[in-house]
Amino acid sequence: MKAKFFVLVVLLGTLMSFWHGFAQNYPQWHLPEGAIARLGENTIEKAAYTPDGRQLAVAGSNGILLYDTRTGAKLGRLDGHTDTVTSIAFSSDGFTLASGSRDNTVCLWNVRTGTLTDTLTGHTSDVWSVAFSPDGFTLASGSGDKTVRLWNVRSSTEKEIYFIDEQTGKKKYTLDHAGDVWCLAFSPDGRTLASGSQDNALRLWNPRTGRLKNTLAHTADVWCLAFSPDGRTLASGNWREVRLWNARTGTLTNTLTGHTNSVESVAFSSDGYILASGSRDKTVRLWNAKAGTLRDTLTGHTSHIWSVVFSPEGNFTLASASQDKTVRLWDAKTGTLRDTLIERPMDDVTTSVVFSSDGATLASGSQDKTVRLWDAKTGELRNTITGYAASVNSVAFSPNNTTLVSGAGRKAYVWDSKIGTLINTLNHNGWVESVAFSSDGAILASGSQDKTVRLWDAKTGTLIDTFTGHISWVKSIVFSPDGTTLASGSRDKTVCLWDMKMGTLKNTFTGHTGDVWSVAFSPDGSILASGSRDKTVRLWDVKTGTLRNTFTGHTGDVWSVAFSPDGSIFASGSWDKTVRLWDVRTGTLTDTLNYAGWVKSVAFSPDGSILASGSRDGTVLLWQLSPTTDPVVEWR
């Protein structure tokens, strides 16, 4: 059992009802330990069908999502990698899914149970591609470390396959390129492994001996590969073109042109007559694979297309996965769109999260230039506020929850939080990094890259005062609970305390050796916490101005700090991909919550039972905090 302040529980009765919506609406497979729900999805990198065509896997920065191809319903999620999943492949029997990631590992999953069965390590850089041999016994992985590795995935002991180097007689574990290995493909008979690289070459290998059979030269990176079903043709995509090769002789048989940007993925239909190519030019092109002529151009995606794949059922359904965070299903014979699988996009970093004072709503600001309002009980998206010209850096509710303020670009935007209409805009001379309401809701404060804190009449938007004194950007501001003091943290490595009545500087806290990213008052106002680029959290005595404690342990910038409502613990979110919980009284670390990306923001619910954290992966995770010792219940 972990620390007394943190246990993964779902309390019977009230909490079971409270979180029931998550179980129904959002299948949560393999959330990070301790998290009970994830709000939002993010980038899509690859898609793959099971051999029977009944499931479609979609991979990206939020792990791997599985869909039922007959209903379009989301079946679940596979989480285990600590960074973006760049490549996926099913074994021929459909029981195992392999995934490669930017975390340098390959994971093997039991698709039926959704469990992680093995993690293959050895690569020293991003794994860009994975491919199963037709018999399912061998898995190939290509990496940014310029190598291809082969794995015996049916062995329980010796995983990594080695070859005997003919020149040295020594064991050789890798097939080497001179650049990142972007793509891999086995021939249908399993006798040839093709690998495409940043070194402008396509190499053909004997996967049993590791011997190089042929090298086919390109004029640019080889981004994608696919063998025709009969194994006679090999298609490769690079800059603006698709090349067709005689797979046996290595001779170039045709070059298909027309794309206006890099070709990122190629795929043959099950009968071999149609070749699909997806490109950064936002189009999918369908080619007559035999004649090399263009059949159709599919448009509709609004960003780069990373992956195209045909359903193995022979119904000519083509799936295309795009950076626009959609997967589109096409009828390849007619060129018509059949369906679109849309993940609620939350592009880039979730910069700020905050609960309304009644705990009913969670607001999240993002670099995708939106603010999202979530139902904190069901996880449903209530509203998306758009219209920003820049990243949303901070959000805050008024005490009565009727107003929401958000900082983006050089403005603070004031919104009606119920209907999402814009009430006012407040201007700075630099980007607004932080916003906050006074405890009585009468004053709205904004901190900016223009080195100032501005105070506004929350009703009229009139400028009341401007605090100057910082010599660099003001990154974070917070009012004391009694409203008499405002604290501001800056890139000048200081924290300033301002007297709200007099409009003067009361004190300056120095000691951090890096930018101060976040500040937070304890509920009684006696302590101020500050998180910094120097990887520490410092607790200051507000009355005396003395340093009470310095918390170390994070291995990256501390982006956000927050006190629990009872003041007994505080949370710190960091670049090191963790949220840490600390005992304020003893100064001890009580728990560490592990994330898949760096954590930009943390916030407690008003009753202290939930911690929300926003991350680089564009999502918000909710963590259950409880002092009980009730049995652990896993949410999927």
463-472 pLDDT, tens digit each = 999 999 999 9
pLDDT tens by residue, 160-219: 898 888 778 888 899 999 999 999 999 999 999 999 999 999 999 999 999 999 999 998
pLDDT tens by residue, 237-246: 998 999 999 9
DSSP 41: B
State yes or no: pLDDT of 326 exceeds 90: no
Please state the pTM of the whole predicted model: 0.57
Q: How confident is the model at residue 636 (pLDDT cuts 50, 70, 90)?
A: very low
- The number of C-alpha atoms within 13 Å of 15 and in the hemisphere containing its C-beta is 16
State yes or no: pLDDT of 630 exceeds 60: no
In this structure, are strands 547-551 and 558-563 parallel, antiparallel, or unpaired? Answer: unpaired
**Confidence at residue 420, expressed as pLDDT on a 0 to 100 scale:** 86
**Confidence at residue 446, expressed as pLDDT on a 0 to 100 scale:** 97
* Opening angle at CA 18, ends 15 and 24, nearest 5: 115
Q: Is the dihedral of CA 44, 49, 53, 56 positive or negative?
A: negative
Residues linked to residue 37 through DSSP beta bridges, in sequence order:
622
Q: Which of 420, 414, 373, 365 is nearest to 393 (CA)?
A: 365
Distance between CA 57 and CA 90 in Å, rounded? Answer: 9
Is residue 196 helix, strand or coil? strand
pLDDT tens by residue, 112-147: 888 999 999 999 999 999 999 999 999 999 999 999
SS3 string, 264-291, reads: EEEEECCCCCEEEEEECCCCEEEEECCC
Contact by Cβ (8 Å): 266, 289: no
State yes or no: pLDDT of 12 exceeds 60: no
**Confidence at residue 25, expressed as pLDDT on a 0 to 100 scale:** 36
Distance between CA 475 and CA 487 in Å, rounded? Answer: 11
Distance between CA 312 and CA 319 in Å, rounded? Answer: 11
**Confidence at residue 20, expressed as pLDDT on a 0 to 100 scale:** 33
- The number of C-alpha atoms within 13 Å of 615 and in the hemisphere containing its C-beta is 28
pLDDT tens by residue, 406-459: 999 999 999 999 888 999 999 999 999 999 999 999 999 999 999 999 999 999
Q: Which of 205, 236, 55, 230 is nearest to 138 (CA)?
A: 205
DSSP secondary structure, 320-332, as one string: EEETTSEEEEEET
The encoded tokens of residue 290 equal 């035999």
Q: Which of 258, 220, 266 is nearest to 239 (CA)?
A: 220
Q: How confident is the model at residue 348 (pLDDT cuts 50, 70, 90)?
A: low
Q: Please provide the average confidence, as pLDDT, over all residues in the chain.
A: 87
Contact by Cβ (8 Å): 366, 351: yes
Distance between CA 80 and CA 539 in Å, rounded? Answer: 34
